[in-house]
Amino acid sequence: MSIPVQRIREICGDGNVITDPLELRTYECDGLTSHRSVPALVVLPGTASETAAVVRTCHDAGIPFVARGSGTGLSGGALPHESGVLIVMSRMRRILEIDPVSRRAVVEPGVTNLSVSKAVERYGLFYAPDPSSQVVCSVGGNVAENSGGAHCLKHGFTVHHVTGLEIVTPSGELTWLGDGTGIPSGYDLTGAFTGSEGTLGIVTKIVVKLTVSPEAVHTLLAAYATTAEGGRAVSDIIGAGILPAAIEMMDALAIEAAEAAVQCGYPEGAGAVLIVELDGPSAEVETELAMVRDICQRAGATEIRAADDPAQRAKIWAGRKSAFAAVGRISPRFIVQDGVVPRTSLPSVLARIAELSNQTGIRVANVFHAGDGNLHPLVLYHGDEDVAAAEEVSGAILDACLEQGGSITGEHGVGVDKSRYMPKMFDADDLDTMQLVRCAFDPASLCNPGKVFPTPRLCGEVPGTHRGPRPLPAGTELFLWRRNVRWYHPSPPLQAQQRPRNCCAPRLPLA
């Protein structure tokens, strides 16, 4: 199998195709730098029809392909396939339409998140999903990851703000999912596509919902001796029926890093800081601010500051927004974890993280979206010698989240990094059902293969060039799905090489 380079050049133009080995290395990883793989070819299409033609070419030649936005993903979702084509969407960065009356905008996938809000500011509107990477990450990448951000506690995730998608299917057809109204008739395919991590096709246009800018915004910072006290304030705020736009927390190590990086002036000696942001009508915000202040005080706050002035609010946020990068000042390498727990379990999971850190000597800085129980422990390590220990701590943190009924990912996706943890959270039937969805879009398994799902399950996913037989458990009953054809094979099962190539084999019970 060889990549039809000439055909791809004809589609996108010579200048938009990269084959030089040195230049290809620019794309060898996303924000998760511990996984690297140089693609065979990089192409930067300029339009939806060019994207469709490139995908069709890959599909017809049986070449795997991976979409990439800005490459800020933290789970290796945009990790290239070494024998495949990396399709980079960053040239497609036009805001095509703004409709302030219907509060909708149509954007290309390479548009950066923050630029949508900037473009609609003059209408008193904003685009609510706000990952901390919003200055650079693309809306296409946000759709693929169903990205959140500090304010998704109140305003929701990307899926709540996308009402229609133009996509290129894995066989290269250009089509629309959703009609832009956000009210699906029939299956909600826009919802199914959002968060599918680039495995169901490539987004080429996005209809986004715009939100009216709030009349008032107040940001409150409360300092605590411990994260447990801060955690109590979080539960009490939500328990009082208040829904802040954001509730964020940082522990002592994260504060130390942020202070060194951006001099955010957080209270000295604090073991934890809580940032609570309230937005909405002025009267409501004023009332809730008084209640939140009181709750924070009763939970043991050593200092409370509140700001409604944009510059002062920005100063409070500066430490939190810079936290990931700032940690780089105290440790050259770190893993950003992304587990979720019920809010009430925050204290016990944080205690478990501290215990793991003490036992192993691996430092962990905690930054988290406390309001929705989304932890981002930053597991610090120095070099290759302690990477295994750091990964072990990182995995044990996910185990602790799962033990509390939580999840292995809140907003960064599964990608290549967490696929091995999927069987801890989902049983075989769950995974097979998910495979069915994937196979309905991509029966050939060429679109971002090797991501989300654990090691090849039967013939559903065939990474690299491996085509040999794979032993199957004796007595396995196989359903082989290929487009809409279904075969039933009683045991003994077929050997892999006898099966139709690229089929998916969910292990479902007989109907």
Helical segments of 182-281, H only: 189-193, 227-239, 252-262
We find the least distance from the C-beta atom of residue 139 to ligand FAD, in angstroms, to be 8
Nearer to ligand FAD, 323 or 480 (CB): 323
We find the least distance from the C-beta atom of residue 469 to ligand FAD, in angstroms, to be 30
- Region of residue 53 (phi > 0: left; psi between -120 and 50: alpha; otherwise: beta): alpha
Nearest-angstrom CA–CA distance, 319 and 264: 5
We find the least distance from the C-beta atom of residue 476 to ligand FAD, in angstroms, to be 30
We find the least distance from the C-beta atom of residue 503 to ligand FAD, in angstroms, to be 23
Nearest-angstrom CA–CA distance, 119 and 134: 14
We find the least distance from the C-beta atom of residue 284 to ligand FAD, in angstroms, to be 26
Q: Where does this chain bind ligand FAD (CB under 6 A)?
A: 30-31, 66-74, 77-78, 89, 109, 131-133, 137-138, 140-142, 144-145, 147-149, 197-198, 202-203, 324-325, 411-412, 448
- Residue 440 DSSP SS3: helix
Q: Which two tokens stand for residue 55?
A: 């995908």
Nearest-angstrom CA–CA distance, 339 and 398: 6
Nearest-angstrom CA–CA distance, 450 and 215: 46
- Residue 382 DSSP SS3: coil
Nearer to ligand FAD, 364 or 416 (CB): 416
Nearer to ligand FAD, 203 or 393 (CB): 203
Q: How many CB atoms lie within 10 A of CB 184?
A: 16
Q: How many CB atoms lie within 10 A of CB 173?
A: 13
Nearest-angstrom CA–CA distance, 434 and 418: 16
Nearest-angstrom CA–CA distance, 291 and 288: 5
Nearer to ligand FAD, 43 or 296 (CB): 43
Tell how strand 41-43 and strand 85-88 pair up: parallel
We find the least distance from the C-beta atom of residue 149 to ligand FAD, in angstroms, to be 4
We find the least distance from the C-beta atom of residue 350 to ligand FAD, in angstroms, to be 19
Q: Which residues contact 488 (CB under 8 A, 6 or more apart)?
A: 477, 478, 479, 510
- Residue 362 DSSP SS3: coil
- Residue 291 DSSP SS3: helix
Q: Which residues contact 6 (CB under 8 A, 6 or more apart)?
A: none
Nearest to 466 by CA among 482, 488, 449: 449
We find the least distance from the C-beta atom of residue 269 to ligand FAD, in angstroms, to be 27
Nearer to ligand FAD, 90 or 345 (CB): 90
Nearest to 218 by CA among 134, 114, 305: 305
We find the least distance from the C-beta atom of residue 113 to ligand FAD, in angstroms, to be 8
Q: Give the CA radius of gyration of the chain.
A: 24
Q: Which two tokens stand for residue 274?
A: 């809580």
Nearest to 506 by CA among 428, 449, 450, 446: 428
Amino acid, res. 443 = P
We find the least distance from the C-beta atom of residue 411 to ligand FAD, in angstroms, to be 3
We find the least distance from the C-beta atom of residue 367 to ligand FAD, in angstroms, to be 10
Cβ-count burial 76-92 (b if 16+ within 10 Å, e if not): bbbbbbebbbbbbbbbb
Cis bond before residue 473 (omega within 30° of 0): no
Nearer to ligand FAD, 37 or 499 (CB): 37
Nearer to ligand FAD, 73 or 443 (CB): 73
Q: Which two tokens stand for residue 477?
A: 């009953």
We find the least distance from the C-beta atom of residue 92 to ligand FAD, in angstroms, to be 8
Nearer to ligand FAD, 158 or 404 (CB): 158
